[in-house]
Amino acid sequence: MKRPWNTYSDYLVSRYGQRVYRVSVDAGLSCPNRDAAGRGGCAFCDGTGARAVHLREEERDLEKADGILLTDKCDIAGQIERGLAYIRRRYRSRLAMLYFQSWSNTNAPVERLKTIYDSALLHHDFVSLIVSTRPDLVPDQVCDLLASYITPDRDVWVELGLQSADDRTLSLLGRGHDCASYAAAAERLRARGIKVCTHLMILPCYEGAGAAAGSARLVSECGTDAVKIHNLSLCNGTRLLDDYRTLGCYPVLSLRRHVETVALMLANLDPRIIVERLMSEMTSQRCVNPRLFPDKREVLEQIAVYMEERGWVQGCLR
Ligand code: SF4
């Protein structure tokens, strides 16, 4: 069924003629928001650095279930070979995107970044290089380096964590950057032909659905090429878990509220923006809240039905 939003799978098929899968890599670059004395990281950060499930030692059962065995998470060559083998075996696909997913993947001197990216790209003709990082970690030099990897056969994407378009919320979350820093980063990247994917969060207790819609409008104005929308979970080892009682409300949305808020965000999002993700999938080992959502397919179906019942499509409320 055609979704009332601009799906990532449609984009991949129109761009490459087929679905393309990601090889996720942990380059061990950590994050300045956790490392800097006194900053302590984002309230919701559990210290896994958004590492892919198969790269997390503490979730070895899932790792085995995926058939991928990993001995050294910073052995980039090994991670790539195992990821490629998995994609070939599971999807019978040769096309792949290289995804520096974990932590802040521009958190090093530019010479070191060049060594890391250069050697990783030697392993395969990746159709995309995707680098996930923070808005305050993409100075001109890093943007120039990333732009140097663009070729007719390879796109470069940078995934920027913004989470909210409200500076007060960003401050409460301890993000360590503001909206202006995001807008400037998106402009620097896009001026060089680098595509931008922005991560947003639905943040009950910090802001309402109207603010979430405002986040969709801000990233539309800043020209992001894609978005990933996440729901908040109460994860072990987070400040959020320690602090949520003082917030006076429970920061985890019900499925119904999630569906309503995502639909409102999509209705306020530029229809040209590719929608890569509409929910986070946390393993039970990581979060303490009960699992409130069914599987992803069912959640997407509910969002689509909710929008169709109202005659909504992506961007209709802009
Ligand atoms: S930017 Fe990412 S890795 Fe860094 S503290 Fe925040 S959530 Fe954690």
Domain boundaries, the chain: 8-309
Cα atoms found within 13 Å of the Cα of residue 175, Cβ hemisphere only: 27
Quote the pTM value: 0.92
- For ligand 1, the distance from its centroid to the CA atom of residue 178, given in whole angstroms, is 14
The answer to whether residue 48 scores a pLDDT higher than 80 is no
- Cα–ligand 1 centroid distance for 260 (angstroms): 27
Q: Of 257, 212, 202, 208, whose CA–CA distance to 233 is shortest?
A: 202
Q: Which amino acid is at 152?
A: P
Interval between CA 34 and ligand 1 midpoint (Å): 7
Q: Would you say the CB of residue 189 lies under 6 angstroms from ligand 1?
A: no
Q: At what angle do helices 110-121 and 76-91 cross, to 10 degrees?
A: 40
Neighbouring residues of 138: CB distance < 8 A, sequence distance ≥ 6: 106, 146, 158, 160, 185, 188, 189
Q: Is 103 in the pocket of ligand 1 (CB under 6 A)?
A: yes
If pLDDT is split at 50, 70 and 90, which confidence band does 52 have? low
238 CB within 6 A, ligand 1 = no
DSSP helix, strand, coil percent of the chain (3-state; round to 5): 40, 15, 45
Q: Report whether pLDDT(64) > 80.
A: no
The response to whether residue 176 sits with its C-beta less than 6 Å from ligand 1 reads no
Which residue among 30, 33, 280 has the greatest number of ligand 1 atoms within 8 angstroms of its CB, and so is best to mutate?
33
Q: Which amino acid is at 58?
A: E
Q: How far is the CA of 16 from the centre of ligand 1 (A)?
A: 32
- How far, rounded to the nearest angstrom, does the alpha carbon of residue 137 sit from its chain's CA centroid? 16
- Ligand 1 and 31: CB distance under 6 A: yes
Do residues 93 and 46 touch, judged by C-beta distance below 8 A?
no
The CATH-assigned architecture of domain 8-309 is Alpha-Beta Horseshoe (3.80)
- How many CA atoms lie within 13 Å of 169's alpha carbon, on the beta-carbon side? 20
Residue 168 CB coordination number (10 Å)? 12
pLDDT at 40: 78
Distance from Cα 107 to the centre of ligand 1, integer Å = 12
- β-pairing, 226-231 vs 21-25, is unpaired
pLDDT at 62: 37
What was the pLDDT predicted at 248? 81
106 lines ligand 1 (CB under 6 A): no
CA–CA dist 154, 125 (Å, integer): 8
Query: What band does 35 get if pLDDT is binned at 50, 70 and 90?
Result: confident
What tens digit of pLDDT does each residue of 177-233 get? 999 999 999 999 999 999 999 999 999 999 999 999 999 999 999 999 999 999 999
